[in-house]
Amino acid sequence: MTNTAATLQSIYRYPVKGLSPELLPNVALQAGRTLPADRRYAIENGPIGFEPANPKYFPKIRFLMLMRNERLAGLQTRFDDASNTLTIRYNGAEAARGNLETPEGRAAIETFFVENFSPELKGPPKVLSAPGHSFSDVAAKVVSIINLASVAAIETIVGQPVNPLRFRGNLYVSGWPAWHEFDLLEKQLTIGDTRLRVIKRIVRCAAVNVDPVTAERDLNIPHALMQMFDHADCGVYAEVITGGTIAAGDAITELSSTA
């Protein structure tokens, strides 16, 4: 076992793919699952043949998403678990509200995108979901981990502040050296009473070029990374091996790959 000074700084989920992050003080993780309700919903951009009874992975380009639809960052959204209600604020006012588990509620949200995002639509926007399914960028059920020191290193490369939320991660970690997350592949981590296995580096797309506050596409982070490091990676995916509750402020311990 290797003890580190790493700390879980913050936890975020994204109930609707491409829409606002939600800060969580703590969360209960289950083995083999994503963060609860993370990417539980997505907005189909043109028919893709998604079957809720037999949900399958589709690439992110089939949905409204920040890589191509940066104006999504200008929406302030909030999802209420108890009522399954999504609220959208736009231009400083509530613009839509709907229970995403009812036809009427989904229609209210879909109508908002028809009325406000029509130039970017390839067909009728449709709110999609399926029990236990996550519309992640990868098919595996994973959580994403962002090393805040790596984000600081990117700030040095691009010469200006970089909001860590550009990377739309689930778990943000402080205390690791820059790029240490890449040394953790196939290793296990403990956070609280959970155990995770790091399985994959995250290759970054143009979504990280969008400022999550201004909705401006003001940087080219993947290009800067390629120029400096010959890769466009930041962050890692990890599988939950042992479930349990994690909370902001928890210590993170690295285990050997054989632990």
Q: Quick one: pLDDT band at residue 117, thresholds 50, 70, 90? A: very high
Say what percent of the chain tops pLDDT 90: 96
Asked whether residue 185 carries a pLDDT value surpassing 50, the answer given is yes
Could you give the CA distance from residue 217 to residue 232 in angstroms, rounded to a whole number? 17
Could you give the CA distance from residue 193 to residue 244 in angstroms, rounded to a whole number? 5
Q: Provide the residue ranges of all domains of the chain, joining segments of one domain with +.
A: 7-33+138-255, 41-129
Supply the mean pLDDT for the chain.
95
Q: Quick one: pLDDT band at residue 1, thresholds 50, 70, 90? A: very low
Superfamily classification of domain 7-33+138-255? PK beta-barrel domain-like (2.40.33.20)
Q: What is the pTM assigned to this prediction?
A: 0.95
Q: Quick one: pLDDT band at residue 87, thresholds 50, 70, 90? A: very high
Could you give the CA distance from residue 77 to residue 24 in angstroms, rounded to a whole number? 15
Segment 142-177, tens digit of pLDDT? 999 999 999 999 999 999 999 999 999 999 999 999
Which pair of structure tokens corresponds to residue 145? 């981990």
Looking at residue 5, its pLDDT comes to 83
Q: Quick one: pLDDT band at residue 259, thresholds 50, 70, 90? A: very low
User: Strand, coil or helix: what is 108?
Assistant: helix
Looking at residue 143, its pLDDT comes to 98
Asked whether residue 79 carries a pLDDT value surpassing 50, the answer given is yes
Segment 199-252, tens digit of pLDDT? 999 999 999 999 999 999 999 999 999 999 999 999 999 999 999 999 999 999
Q: What are the b/e assignments for 195-215, b being 16+ CB within 10 Å?
A: bbbbbbbbebbbbbbbbbeee
Q: Is there a contact between 44 and 62 (Cβ–Cβ < 8 Å)? A: yes
Looking at residue 257, its pLDDT comes to 57
